[in-house]
């Protein structure tokens, strides 16, 4: 078999559909974000980034950078191995305590990414609990889906945010271990999960709740504990999972829960046991970001003010976007090739970088530009974005949204 010919044929298919993913070679500059430098064909071009998940710009925060420098100078670059052999550093211990406190839990456990924390934890819990059934929201992230699949436990996908459908499955499950897996903020549509309603059903039927707060931590709640904190529900949720790579500005994932549950995952999860630990400098930076956001409301307030400004501008111009209560602004295009073309045009002609979101991240026909306004975007940045989008919608005779 000509393997390269096979690979190239499949890649060509992606390109024809407009779904081929191009990585942008960007260089962020401390203190200047969302401005960045784009490296292309030996040239350097300025861009304004509108699709970063560093939602609160904590990756640029002086406290975070200082903590990382201090830990790097004190401990060196790497952790030295897996946590159980030689990789547990005091900064990991301090960060796990900080995370447990953030979510009001007895314990926390670090992973190398949010994807890994979801995949590993759900696969370990569902595989270990005897005759376990997993009820998974239809909108759940790929990391949750893959973890559940890997467990080989029975799974049922309930309709997104449909409590009648969920309760019907809970009733039918009978007396067996059940895990309900769901999210607080769904990252592509920007809608909230029905956290209170799901928790109430879980308590009624004795199910274990697993909440992904990846797009909620840092952004919601008085101390940045996520949507569950904002709703006053953290104490009623069994597992709260989150990331350090978005609102906290570094990299890594984690889970929080009871001491027994966390110790069980720590002791049985191969994805944790056999992975090298996060560098101490990363743990130090994450801890500094969490500590800051537990005290400061300024970043959250500025973020939501910017989101409101962008939405109001889009509404005035009739550019279609999905209304939602979160910080995510999905501008709907509905065609993969057109979505890619718009993204490329904005980049080349206006210096605006918004990555197109196509299948399989979203369903076919739901292609979009996923805009994430941030505290660092200025009034001038917003005006430039709106003017550029309006001109494109006129030029391409794209459908407008009637208010």
Please state, in angstroms and rounded to a whole number, the distance separating the CA atoms of residues 378 and 246. Answer: 20
Q: How confident is the model at residue 19 (pLDDT cuts 50, 70, 90)?
A: confident
> Average pLDDT in the 187-209 region?
97
Confidence band of 395 (pLDDT split at 50, 70, 90): confident
Separation of alpha carbons 122 and 182, rounded Å: 11
Average pLDDT, integer, range 194-214: 98
pTM: 0.95
Per-residue pLDDT of 24-42, as tens digits, reads 899 999 999 999 999 998 9
Give me 152's structure tokens. 């080989």
Q: How many CB atoms lie within 10 A of CB 6?
A: 10
Residue 258: other Cβ atoms inside 10 A:
13
Average pLDDT value for the chain: 95
Residue 152 among the catalytic residues:
no
In which band, very low, low, confident or very high, does the pLDDT at 353 lie, cut at 50, 70 and 90? very high
In this prediction, residue 403 has a pLDDT band, given cuts at 50, 70 and 90, of low
pLDDT tens digit sequence for 107-158: 999 999 999 999 999 999 999 999 999 999 999 999 999 999 999 999 999 9
What whole-number percentage of the chain has pLDDT above 90?
90
Give the pLDDT confidence score for residue 402 in this predicted structure.
60
For residue 111, which of 128, 123, 101 has the smallest C-alpha distance? 123
Beta strands in 9-68 (DSSP E): 26-28, 35-40, 43-49
Task: Please report the pLDDT score of residue 232 as a whole number.
Answer: 98
Whole-number Cα distances in Å, 94 to 100, 110, 237, 288, 296: 10, 11, 23, 11, 20
Provide the sign of the torsion angle of the four alpha carbons 70, 73, 75, 77, taken in this order.
positive
Q: Comparing C-alpha atoms, which of 45, 31, 54, 55 is closest to residue 347?
A: 45
Strand extents, DSSP E, 153-309:
154-158, 178-183, 208-212, 239-243, 253-257
pLDDT (0 to 100) of residue 22: 85
pLDDT tens profile 253-305: 999 999 999 999 999 999 999 999 999 999 999 999 999 999 999 999 999 99
Contact of 208 with 238, CB cutoff 8 Å: yes
Q: What is the pLDDT of residue 396?
A: 74
Please tell me whether the peptide bond between 360 and the residue prior to it is cis, using omega within 30 degrees of 0: yes
Residue tagged active-site, from 105, 246, 340, 366: 246
Q: For the chain, how many helices (H) and strands (E)?
A: 14, 14
Q: What percent of the chain is modeled with pLDDT above 70?
A: 99
The CA distances from residue 92 to 14, 52, 185, 199, 241, in Å, are 41, 26, 27, 30, 17
């Amino acid at each position: 078999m000509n393997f390269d010919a096979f690979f190239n044929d499949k890649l060509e298919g992606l390109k024809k559909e407009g779904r081929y993913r191009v990585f942008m070679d960007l260089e962020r500059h401390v203190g200047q974000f969302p401005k960045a430098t784009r490296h292309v064909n030996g040239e350097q071009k300025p861009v304004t980034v509108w699709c970063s998940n560093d939602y609160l710009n904590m990756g640029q925060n002086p406290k975070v950078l200082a903590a990382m420098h201090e830990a790097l100078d004190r401990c060196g670059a790497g952790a030295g191995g897996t946590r159980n052999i030689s990789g547990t550093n005091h900064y990991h211990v301090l960060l796990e305590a900080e995370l447990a406190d953030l979510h009001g839990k007895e314990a926390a456990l670090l992973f190398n990414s949010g994807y890994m924390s979801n995949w590993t934890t759900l696969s370990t819990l569902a595989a270990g609990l005897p005759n376990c059934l997993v009820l998974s929201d239809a909108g759940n992230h790929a990391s949750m889906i893959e973890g559940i699949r890997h467990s080989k436990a029975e799974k049922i996908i309930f309709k997104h945010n449909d409590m009648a459908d969920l309760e019907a499955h809970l009733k039918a499950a009978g007396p067996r271990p059940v895990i309900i897996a769901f999210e607080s903020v769904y990252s592509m549509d920007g809608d909230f999960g029905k956290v209170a309603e799901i928790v109430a059903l879980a308590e009624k039927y004795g199910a274990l709740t697993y909440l992904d707060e990846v797009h909620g931590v840092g952004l919601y709640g008085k101390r940045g504990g996520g949507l569950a904190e904002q709703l006053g529900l953290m104490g009623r949720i069994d597992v709260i999972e989150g990331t350090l790579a978005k609102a906290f500005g570094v990299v890594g994932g984690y889970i929080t829960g009871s001491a027994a549950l966390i110790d069980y995952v720590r002791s049985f999860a191969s994805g944790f046991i056999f992975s090298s630990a996060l560098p101490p400098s990363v743990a130090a930076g994450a801890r500094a970001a969490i500590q800051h956001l537990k005290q400061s409301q300024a970043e959250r307030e500025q973020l939501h003010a910017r989101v409101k400004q962008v939405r109001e501008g889009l509404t005035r111009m009739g550019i279609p976007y999905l209304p939602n209560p979160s910080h995510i602004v999905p501008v709907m295009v509905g065609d993969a090739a057109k979505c890619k073309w718009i993204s490329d045009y904005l980049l080349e002609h206006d210096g605006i970088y918004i990555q197109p979101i196509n299948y399989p991240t979203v369903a076919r026909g739901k292609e979009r530009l996923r805009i994430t306004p941030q505290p660092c975007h200025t009034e001038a940045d917003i005006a430039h974005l709106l003017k550029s989008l309006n001109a494109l919608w006129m030029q391409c005779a794209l459908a407008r949204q009637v208010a």
